[in-house]
Amino acid sequence: MTVQEELSQVQVLLKMEQQEDLEQYKLKSAKSPIAERKKMGLCWYPITITKTEIGFGGKTVVEIERQGGRDQLHLFQTGKAASIFTNSHNDQGHNNFQLNGVIMTLKRNKLTLATNKEDLPDWIYEGKLGIDLTFDEMSYKEMEFALKKTIETEGTKLAHLRDVLYGAQPASFKANLPFRPIPQLNDSQNEAVKNIEAAKDVAIIHGPPGTGKTTTLVQAVLRTLETEKRLLVCAPSNTAVDLLTEKIAEQGVNVIRIGHPSRVSEMLLQHTLDAQIMNHRDYKHLKLLRRNAEEYKGMAFQHKRKFGWEEREQRRLLKEESKMMLQEADEIERYITDDLLSRVQVITCTLVGSANRVIRHLTYDTVFIDEAAQALEPGCWIPVTRASRVVLAGDHFQLPPTVKSEKAERLGLSKTLFEKCIARQPDVAVMLKTQYRMHHQIMNFSNRQFYGGELQAHESVHFSDLHHFNPAFTEGFAVEYVDTAGCGYNEQAFSETSSVANPEEADLLIKHLQILLEQFPANEAENGMENPLKIGIISPYRAQINYLKDEIEQILQLQELVTKKLLSIGTVDSFQGQERDIIYISMVRSNDRGEIGFLADIRRMNVGMTRARKKLVIIGDSATLTYDPFYKEFVEYTEDIGAYKSAWEFISE
Ligand SMILES: Nc1ncnc2c1ncn2[C@@H]1O[C@H](COP(=O)(O)OP(=O)(O)OP(=O)(O)O)[C@@H](O)[C@H]1O
């Protein structure tokens, strides 16, 4: 298969995914009544419009506050498409009674929506209003556009990059480039920066858990700025982009965050393009023009008792004047934006954000993509089409991107550009080898399974287990596997949700945790340490998580820890990118068929296990688990290091 043919296959899979996404959205949203949509977090209702303003292009920006269901959980996010509706025209999905836009800012019960209309429609004053999340077609359009461009291009820099990333052409490096090591970085981190400096087309930072991938990326950005004027740094998620923006800005770099940060932190707001436009010396002029334009428009539409030729002419003139002022205001905004972008050193945004109206025409010598192993391949092509050189950072042994269509996933849509490139061009990658999170015994199993045994625990964490938290102990037993084989703790299936729970295993976990907390109290006041212990309980099954949460709610001591955010319970995905001093994993599966379901996803398990800093406790039935070679080796590993325990030890207590 040629590179183009392979990419065309990705194009087909993306279409499949879009179809499925749309179907699921329709199923979830359009057909359900308002109350249902609210419950699913897809709708705010009722709402009031608290303010309207004129934004770029004369389009109306509305500020919305929700009345009912305040603080109810929802899925609204900045950058997402949403649409205002009224209950007086309840033919939901009818375009005539929808005001579409993009969410610009979001606070607890307030949001601003940049609409695509210059005037508010009349129905907005009728009945009760609500706002729905709508299907995000824009991201798919941009991905499709980037893929098409990548497939069709010939003899260009992009064509060359495409062939190198896909392994059809060798990657090239500048030879004998002198390198000044960065004192804050360790050897493999410096090696990764050196590799980036020398790379002519592609470089990869492979960052296993806790190895300082972000630290290295930020230093590589600083180094690159010594020779290049302006860079693009992106990631698939807003959270990752926010973190990168913060870290890069801390180094004194002039950075602009395109799009709207989801966490409203002062530190980040100041880096958004909007905030920088407002701080520009010419902003006053722009603001005045928009205010006057609005006044003129208001006058034009003032109600007149008598409405003859003269009044009509006057209205026409006022409208024309207002329109000219808005056009001038847009020109000033464009000029300010260009001025800011010509001086900025780093632009940060999500992958789709790199096609944002204000920067879509820009090209970059180097584009950095963090969390590249969690990004859909078509998403990565959006910034790559604007690059001469690409740096990818990530770890393909952690979570892959989520794909909604089972078929598209099966046919390979969850295979990332990162994964393809590292497999076909292994020489472009440098793996970071020192990790700063885990006790060596927690690290070692994952190290053997995924990282070829090359990882090392930094001396600051190598022997760091719980024993510091109680002087009576000389050892804190960093890993424990509690085997429930033979206890008769059978899993229970919940057919309606296709989830599985194992209540007795959950009870044992709670008992184990209570005993542990007697030995090593979580609160700093009791354990004599500077910081409290942070604990996470992970289970791959939603039904088990719900059971654990319900039980914990009944136990005062544990519930207190939950309130203080010292104890959290959730799926692996909810702990992604995070760490805890103690991690419990409840494996749930226990049946005589050797069925392990989700557990077969060993990359997900790798993420779960490597969240732990000082202690990892895994509870499960070896009779079921060891049907799978990965878990068989895990049980053997725990036996080898003396971490194997039978559940009977706890039951008999
Ligand atoms: N060279 C170094 N010397 C000392 N500490 C370091 C070094 N590099 C990273 N660290 C520390 O290791 C921790 C993880 O670093 P960072 O946040 O950059 O990791 P990451 O690789 O992005 O994390 P993850 O693997 O979870 O994605 C931080 O506390 C950081 O201060």
- Separation of 420 CA from ligand 1 center, angstroms? 26
Cα dihedral 468→474→476→478 (10° resolution): 110
H or E stretch at 231: strand 231-235
pLDDT above 80 (res 652):
no
Beta strand 43-54 with 60-66 is: antiparallel
How would residue 537 be classed by pLDDT, with cut points 50, 70 and 90? very high
How would residue 213 be classed by pLDDT, with cut points 50, 70 and 90? very high
pLDDT digits (tens, 9 = 90+) for 611-639: 999 999 999 999 999 999 999 999 999 99
Q: DSSP assignment of 185-218, as one string?
A: S-HHHHHHHHHHHHBSSEEEEE--TTS-HHHHHH
- Using DSSP, state whether 111 is helix, strand or coil: strand
CA distance 21 to 128: 29
pLDDT above 70 (res 334):
yes
Q: Is the CB of 213 under 6 A from ligand 1?
A: yes
- For residue 575, the 8-state DSSP code is G
Phi, psi of 49 (to 5 degrees): -90, 115
Q: Is the CB of 212 under 6 A from ligand 1?
A: yes
Indicate the angle between helix axes 440-450 and 602-609, nearest 10 degrees.
160
pLDDT above 70 (res 261):
no
pLDDT above 80 (res 477):
yes
Taking alpha carbons only, the member of 499, 561, 504 closest to residue 536 is 561
Taking alpha carbons only, the member of 547, 537, 568, 536 closest to residue 499 is 547
Dihedral sign of CA atoms 350, 356, 361, 362 in order: negative
**Residue 58 class from Cβ within 10 Å (0-12 exposed, 13-18 middle, 19+ buried)?**
buried
Phi and psi based region of residue 194 (left: phi greater than 0; alpha: psi -120 to 50; beta: remaining): alpha
**Residue 161 class from Cβ within 10 Å (0-12 exposed, 13-18 middle, 19+ buried)?**
buried
Please state the three-class secondary structure of 13-74 as a single string.
Answer: HHHHHHHHHHHHHHHHHHCCCHHHHHHCCCEEEEEEEEEEEECHHHCEEEEEEECCCCCCCC
pLDDT above 70 (res 84):
yes
- Separation of 117 CA from ligand 1 center, angstroms? 46
Mean pLDDT calculated for residue range 403-409: 94
- Separation of 210 CA from ligand 1 center, angstroms? 6
- Using DSSP, state whether 560 is helix, strand or coil: helix
pLDDT at 1: 87
CA distance 321 to 328: 11
Mean pLDDT calculated for residue range 75-92: 77
Q: DSSP assignment of 279-323, as one string?
A: HSTTHHHHHHHHHHHHHHHHHHT---SS--HHHHHHHHHHHHHHH
How would residue 23 be classed by pLDDT, with cut points 50, 70 and 90? confident
Q: Is the CB of 210 under 6 A from ligand 1?
A: yes
Mean pLDDT calculated for residue range 94-118: 81
Which of 611-636 are b and which e, b meaning 16 or more Cβ less than 10 Å from the residue's Cβ? bbbbbbbbbbbbebbbebebbeebbe
- Separation of 286 CA from ligand 1 center, angstroms? 43
Mean pLDDT calculated for residue range 249-260: 89
Q: Which amino acid is at 328?
A: E
Q: State which of 211, 246, 370, 578 you would mutate to test the pocket of ligand 1, scoring each by most atoms of that ligand within 8 A of its C-beta.
A: 211
- Partners of residue 76 on adjacent β-strands: none
Please state the three-class secondary structure of 364-416 as a single string.
Answer: EEEEEECCHHHCCHHHHHHHHCCEEEEEEEECCCCCCCCCCCHHHHHCCCCCC
Q: Whose CA is nearest to atom 2 of ligand 1?
A: 185
- The answer to whether the CB of 103 falls within 8 A of the CB of 79 is yes
pLDDT at 429: 98
How would residue 269 be classed by pLDDT, with cut points 50, 70 and 90? confident
pLDDT digits (tens, 9 = 90+) for 438-456: 999 999 999 999 999 999 9
pLDDT digits (tens, 9 = 90+) for 155-172: 999 999 999 999 999 999
pLDDT digits (tens, 9 = 90+) for 190-201: 999 999 999 999
**Residue 5 class from Cβ within 10 Å (0-12 exposed, 13-18 middle, 19+ buried)?**
exposed
Which residues lie below 8 Å from residue 585, measured CB to CB, with a gap of 6+?
537, 538, 539, 605, 608, 609, 616, 617, 618, 619, 620
Taking alpha carbons only, the member of 334, 333, 307, 382 closest to residue 142 is 382
pLDDT above 80 (res 302):
no
Which of 559-578 are b and which e, b meaning 16 or more Cβ less than 10 Å from the residue's Cβ? eebbeeebbbbebbeebbbe
pLDDT at 90: 59
pLDDT digits (tens, 9 = 90+) for 540-599: 998 999 999 999 999 999 999 999 999 999 999 889 889 999 999 999 999 988 889 889
pLDDT above 90 (res 54):
no
In this predicted complex, what is the ipTM? 0.96
**pTM, two decimal places:** 0.87
CA distance 257 to 241: 8
- The answer to whether the CB of 503 falls within 8 A of the CB of 492 is yes
How would residue 97 be classed by pLDDT, with cut points 50, 70 and 90? confident
Q: DSSP assignment of 311-334, as one string?
A: HHHHHHHHHHHHHHHHHHHHHHHH
- The answer to whether the CB of 245 falls within 8 A of the CB of 256 is no
Which residues lie below 8 Å from residue 274, measured CB to CB, with a gap of 6+?
260
pLDDT at 296: 84
How would residue 653 be classed by pLDDT, with cut points 50, 70 and 90? low
Which residues lie below 8 Å from residue 78, measured CB to CB, with a gap of 6+?
103, 104, 105, 106, 238, 259, 260, 261, 262
Q: Whose CA is nearest to atom 10 of ligand 1?
A: 212
Phi, psi of 26 (to 5 degrees): -60, -45
pLDDT above 80 (res 230):
yes
Q: State which of 222, 418, 436 you would mutate to test the pocket of ligand 1, scoring each by most atoms of that ligand within 8 A of its C-beta.
A: 436
Q: Is the CB of 215 under 6 A from ligand 1?
A: yes
- Separation of 126 CA from ligand 1 center, angstroms? 55
